[in-house]
Amino acid sequence: MIVLGIESSCDETAAAVVEDGHRILSSVVSSQVTIHRPYGGVVPELASRQHVKVIIPVISEALQRADLQMSSVDGIAVTQGPGLVGSLLVGIGVAKGLAYATGKPLVAVNHLEGHIQAAFMQESNPSFPVVALVVSGGHTNIYLVEDYGNIDLLGRTRDDAAGEAFDKVAKFLNLGYPGGVIIDRLARKGNPQAISFPRAYLEKDSLDFSFSGIKTAVVNFVRKYGAANQQNEGRPSGVSGISAKELPLPLADIVASFQEAVVEVLVEKTCTAAKRFKVGQLVVAGGVAANSRLRQRLLEEAAGLGLALNLPEPELCTDNAAMIAAAGFHKLKQKSGPWDLNFDAISRWPDKPADS
């Protein structure tokens, strides 16, 4: 079955053609990074306008790269939410138009279920149940996945998402946008043990996260020691409000220590969930799953615990439409219609992705 996936939930306009839920025939992602960079974050109005501009060319390119006409597509899958409502509506509108004009079935997909699905794309027969960590700019959730579409939320962030913490720390340190990938790169040159930033484990047995404290700890550290070390010359540049040479440590050490604290909590809670639910397999998804230190630590811990680990390629971790097509494939397989075109964007989705 050939599915055309369409994704426009945030700042990437994406379309992909996927066969049988795992063979990617094409995947096109048009990034809006340069548009939002001057603002240090996604500007919803600009995001929607850019989606409107590029969505048709992006879909055409996906079909062209797959060497297919629309007539060869068996179904369409589109992200319904969660995300920016104006952005979601662009993808949904185009998907409905295409479905109406061609008579092809259309399914609405939860973006987070798409992220989880990305981890199953290289493997056609995952051994359910698995524990999934979905860690992105908007979410940090641990799920127990019993089967495709049978997903239970075990833990979630109570404040900032991990990716949001990366982005906010990068913004505070004036490192540039988007922050996660810049911190990842810079941290490779730093000492992750240089500063012991706080790890929020919350109540005993809790699988929830909290990342606002560590972000504040970085800010406080830089403010405090920045002011106390005026003599310290020759440090990397880039701290907002504070001259870089006032810092007591290289920026690389600060971001490496921050990243280490975030990664440690993510890995620890994910592995705890696997042990508690006696699950033999972990999957990790979402933009932060592209983080090199997180990937390395997960590989080490999973190997130590004898757990299988599915780590999608970095380009499948960040937003893309192949994951939406793959999730749509499983929905299309389960249903035979009629196909309802009467659905709306869902900006904030209830906790359980499969609740739709």
The nearer residue to ligand KG4, 75 or 287, going by C-beta atoms, is 287
For the bound state, the minimum distance from the C-beta of residue 197 to Zn ion, rounded and expressed in Å, comes to 25
The answer to whether residue 136 forms part of the interface with Zn ion (CB under 5 A) is yes
Residue spans of beta strands (DSSP E) within 140-257: 140-147, 150-156
The answer to whether residue 164 forms part of the interface with Zn ion (CB under 5 A) is no
Binding partner selected for residue 178 from ligand KG4, Zn ion, none, CB under the kind-specific 5 to 8 Å limit: ligand KG4
The nearer residue to ligand KG4, 99 or 252, going by C-beta atoms, is 252
- The angle subtended at Cα 210 by Cα 298 and Cα 319, nearest 5°, is 60
Task: List beta partners, residue 134.
Answer: 141, 285
Q: Interacting stretch for Zn ion, rule CB under 5 A, among 22-30, 131-139, 142-150, 233-241? A: 131-139
- Contacting residues toward ligand KG4, per CB under 6 A: 10, 136-138, 163, 166-167, 178-181, 184, 286-288, 290-291, 318-319
For the bound state, the minimum distance from the C-beta of residue 190 to Zn ion, rounded and expressed in Å, comes to 27
The nearer residue to ligand KG4, 156 or 333, going by C-beta atoms, is 156
246: Cβ contacts below 8 Å, ≥ 6 apart: 226, 227, 229, 230, 232, 235, 239
Say if residues 132 and 143 touch (Cβ distance below 8 Å): yes
For the bound state, the minimum distance from the C-beta of residue 110 to ligand KG4, rounded and expressed in Å, comes to 12
The answer to whether residue 80 forms part of the interface with Zn ion (CB under 5 A) is no
Distance CA(328)–CA(151), nearest Å, equals 15
Within 10 angstroms of residue 146's Cβ, the number of other Cβ atoms is 14
Instruction: Report the half-sphere exposure of 162 (CA within 13 A, side-chain side).
Output: 33
x/- mask, Zn ion, residues 84-103, rule CB under 5 A, reads: --------------------
For the bound state, the minimum distance from the C-beta of residue 17 to Zn ion, rounded and expressed in Å, comes to 20
The nearer residue to ligand KG4, 179 or 328, going by C-beta atoms, is 179
For the bound state, the minimum distance from the C-beta of residue 111 to Zn ion, rounded and expressed in Å, comes to 6
For the bound state, the minimum distance from the C-beta of residue 105 to ligand KG4, rounded and expressed in Å, comes to 25
For the bound state, the minimum distance from the C-beta of residue 142 to ligand KG4, rounded and expressed in Å, comes to 16
Binding partner selected for residue 181 from ligand KG4, Zn ion, none, CB under the kind-specific 5 to 8 Å limit: ligand KG4
Burial classification of residue 355, based on how many CB atoms lie within 10 Å of its CB (0-12 exposed, 13-18 middle, 19 or more buried): exposed
Distance set, CA 146 to CA 150, 156, 195, 281, 289 (Å): 5, 18, 39, 11, 21
The nearer residue to ligand KG4, 8 or 272, going by C-beta atoms, is 8
What DSSP string describes 189-221? Answer: TS-TTSS-------STT---B--HHHHHHHHHH
What is the residue type of 9? S
Binding partner selected for residue 318 from Zn ion, ligand KG4, none, CB under the kind-specific 5 to 8 Å limit: ligand KG4
The nearer residue to ligand KG4, 129 or 180, going by C-beta atoms, is 180
For the bound state, the minimum distance from the C-beta of residue 234 to ligand KG4, rounded and expressed in Å, comes to 27
For the bound state, the minimum distance from the C-beta of residue 353 to ligand KG4, rounded and expressed in Å, comes to 13
Task: List beta partners, residue 24.
Answer: 18
The nearer residue to ligand KG4, 287 or 312, going by C-beta atoms, is 287
The nearer residue to ligand KG4, 184 or 246, going by C-beta atoms, is 184
- The angle subtended at Cα 168 by Cα 267 and Cα 195, nearest 5°, is 55
**DSSP strand pairing (130-135 vs 281-285):** parallel
Distance CA(254)–CA(183), nearest Å, equals 10
Binding partner selected for residue 291 from Zn ion, ligand KG4, none, CB under the kind-specific 5 to 8 Å limit: ligand KG4
161: Cβ contacts below 8 Å, ≥ 6 apart: 135, 136, 137, 138, 139, 140, 211
Among 6, 106, 319, 320, binds Zn ion (CB under 5 A): 319
The nearer residue to ligand KG4, 177 or 329, going by C-beta atoms, is 177
Where does this chain bind Zn ion (CB under 5 A)? 136, 319
